[in-house]
Amino acid sequence: MSQAAIYGLLFAAIVLEVIGTTALQLSQQFTRIGPTALVVACYAAAFYCLSVTLKSIPVGIAYAIWSALGIVLISSVGLIFFKQRLDLPAIIGLGLIISGVIVGNLFSKSVSH
């Protein structure tokens, strides 16, 4: 499988996890069946996609990318759809997480380019 396909699957896993987490908010503690079913389906698909990427990407690197992009995307969803605002320390923290993932991907010998 090509590197582009592997990273495409990782991105799909991240998007599925963000959709699942959004549905988790909408499930109202699993009291609404539709969002609850979406949580289960999206998380299962996300973890399957992630598992396939782990054949080619070290687990620490894959999880760092998953975490960083997932945090940014779910924070954006929270802001846009749930009107949840982040304060300056939270934004700085997110920036540090993203910076760490970028450094790891650009300079680590653990990542296959």
Contact 17, 68 (CB under 8 A): no
Q: What is the pLDDT of residues 2-59, one digit of tens each?
A: 999 999 999 999 999 999 999 999 999 999 999 999 999 999 999 999 999 999 998 9
Is residue 113 a part of any domain in this protein?
Answer: no
Q: How many separate domains does the chain show?
A: 1
Residue span of the structural domain in which 22 resides? 3-107
What is the reported pLDDT for 109? 77
Q: What is the pLDDT of residues 49-96, one digit of tens each?
A: 999 999 999 898 899 899 889 999 999 999 999 999 999 999 999 899
What is the reported pLDDT for 111? 64
SS3 content of the chain, % helix, strand, coil (to 5): 80, 0, 20
